[in-house]
A and B are shown apart, each in its own frame.
Chain A
Amino acid sequence: MKNFLRNVRIIFLKDVRSELRTRYVINSLLMFVLVTISIIRFAIGDEKIEDEILTGLLWISIFFSASGGLARTFVKEEEKETSSALKLSASPTEIFVGKLFFNLVLTFILNFLILILFILITEYNIKNPLLFISVLSLGNIGLVAASTIIAAIISKANSKGTLYPVLSFPVLLPLLLTVINATKLASAGINSAEIMGEIRILVSYTVVVITVSVMLFPFVWED
């Protein structure tokens, strides 16, 4: 167990270091976020948009920016031909968990940036910030859980870029429908039984997807 945690940490740090060296994902994703938010800003113009629609727009930007960053996790190992070295140095589960943590950190930074920009440029009104942040975080974890295993699958396929949204959308749809509704309720300041139900679905979705991913990842990873 101690060995496991150590290897997970090493994989995680390796990804952080290689990311900081190339800054490929960080730079391009920051620009992507900026571009998306500006498009939303210009599309809105001077209109007063209701908070419900803004929630939808927020999740559209989160989904697409996350798919830009998360899809790269395993593809970069294949492109730089480092996957064999990685295979030799750690067990599949350790690699998967390490990558999962790296993706989590990446999307958390990214999404809170999106949220801050979003609040700054639109008049997005969050009535229950604590609930909003917790729902957003739960949604993030679920998003990362499902995306990481899909990213591993597409890294072995031919048309990687186009395949990612195609494969991830049906799998992510239950999560997206739930989390959009929950953030809507939280931003409207409704703290009711309904939002607790949504949180229960989010938690169970995340647990189920992570469990199955950990079980199936060795099949994706082996050659």
Chain B
Amino acid sequence: MNNIFKYSVFVIISLVIITGIVLPIPNIPALGDKARVLYFHVPMSWISVVAFVMSLWYAVRYLKTKEITYDIKSFSAAQLGFLFCVLATATGSLWAKFNWGSFWNWDPRQTSIFILLLIYGAYFALRSAIDAEEQRARLSSVYAIIAGITMPFFIFIMPRLVETLHPDPIINNSGKINMDTTMLIIFLTSLLGFTLLFLWVMNLKVRLELLKYRKSLKQA
């Protein structure tokens, strides 16, 4: 079962990479071929948000049940979320260099992802500052929840500060999808592929962390 999952992820992502680079895309004003970053950048941002929400959810579950497995899951989701968040920042920043002229110009989207990175950073800093297993799980869960509930405020605050230049072809104000059919298919496949990749790595990570935890119990 696990093997089929693994190989299908490999096939889907290879397909996305090949078709995403090779197939022609329609001419989009001011974007052109640079629009191809969409196949990779958007799934990364999507996964970093999904991982953040997952981490939050497991944090709540941990506080409710006090089972260490949930804390391990919350931590693993946060670690993977951080990785994908860095990837989203890097791909976005590279694209910004060629489209906006600089790697970083504090566009509202860049500011919000920067804050997400800060929250992850603070969460890991807190975890490494507490020695006792149970206390670390408890306090970091509480912190994750507090940081998580203040995030939605940016949805209201960010648009007030400056107009974003970020292209918004997927979820726009009119709520329609303005994308060429071929592009849409590749994009959705990519979204599926990377989400499956995330779930697969997440599964591995959780199993690894559980083994580490059991080993530490045996040694103690």
Chain A residues with CB under 8 Å of chain B are 146, 149-150, 153-154, 156-159, 163, 166-167, 169-171, 173-174, 177-178, 181, 194, 197-198, 201, 204-205, 208-209, 212-213, 216, 219-220, 222-223
User: Closest 7 A-B residue pairs measured CB to CB?
Assistant: A174-B153, A157-B129, A170-B118, A170-B119, A158-B129, A216-B142, A167-B122
Task: Report how many residues on chain B are interfacial, defined by Cβ distance under 8 Å.
Answer: 28
Q: Which residue of A is nearest B120, CB measured?
A: A170
Instruction: Tell me which residues from 129 to 167 in chain B have a Cβ below 8 Å from any Cβ of chain A.
Output: 129-131, 135, 138-139, 141-143, 145-147, 149-150, 153-154, 156-157, 160-161
Chain B residues with CB under 8 Å of chain A are 63, 115, 118-119, 121-122, 125-126, 129-131, 135, 138-139, 141-143, 145-147, 149-150, 153-154, 156-157, 160-161
Q: Cβ of A216 and Cβ of B146 under 8 Å apart?
A: yes
Give the complex CA separation of A173 and B141 in angstroms: 20
B residues near A154, Cβ cutoff 8 Å: 126
B residues near A146, Cβ cutoff 8 Å: 146, 150
A residues near B63, Cβ cutoff 8 Å: 216, 219
Give the complex CA separation of A204 and B156 in angstroms: 11
Give the complex CA separation of A177 and B162 in angstroms: 12
- Contact status of A209 and B160, CB under 8 A, knowing A174-B154, A219-B141, A220-B138: no
B residues near A166, Cβ cutoff 8 Å: 121-122, 125
Give the complex CA separation of A166 and B147 in angstroms: 12
B residues near A173, Cβ cutoff 8 Å: 115, 118, 150
Give the complex CA separation of A182 and B29 in angstroms: 37
Give the complex CA separation of A181 and B158 in angstroms: 12
Q: Cβ of B126 and Cβ of A167 under 8 Å apart?
A: yes
A residues near B157, Cβ cutoff 8 Å: 174, 177-178, 201
Q: Cβ of B143 and Cβ of A167 under 8 Å apart?
A: yes
Query: Distance in Å from the Cβ of B52 to the closest Cβ of chain A?
Result: 12
Given contacts A149-B146, A150-B143, A205-B150, 17 further A-B contacts (CB under 8 A): A146-B146, A146-B150, A153-B142, A156-B139, A167-B125, A169-B122, A171-B147, A171-B150, A173-B118, A173-B150, A174-B150, A178-B153, A194-B160, A212-B146, A216-B145, A219-B141, A222-B138
Q: Cβ of B156 and Cβ of A220 under 8 Å apart?
A: no
Q: Cβ of A219 and Cβ of B142 under 8 Å apart?
A: yes
Query: Distance in Å from the Cβ of A222 to the closest Cβ of chain B?
Result: 8
Give the complex CA separation of A153 and B138 in angstroms: 10
Q: Cβ of A156 and Cβ of B125 under 8 Å apart?
A: no
B residues near A181, Cβ cutoff 8 Å: 160-161
A residues near B150, Cβ cutoff 8 Å: 146, 170-171, 173-174, 205, 208-209
Q: Cβ of A153 and Cβ of B115 under 8 Å apart?
A: no
A residues near B135, Cβ cutoff 8 Å: 156, 223
A residues near B149, Cβ cutoff 8 Å: 208-209, 212
B residues near A213, Cβ cutoff 8 Å: 146
Query: Distance in Å from the Cβ of A173 to the closest Cβ of chain B?
Result: 6
- Contact status of A220 and B142, CB under 8 A, knowing A167-B126, A170-B118: yes
B residues near A177, Cβ cutoff 8 Å: 157, 161
Give the complex CA separation of A149 and B161 in angstroms: 28
Give the complex CA separation of A194 and B160 in angstroms: 9
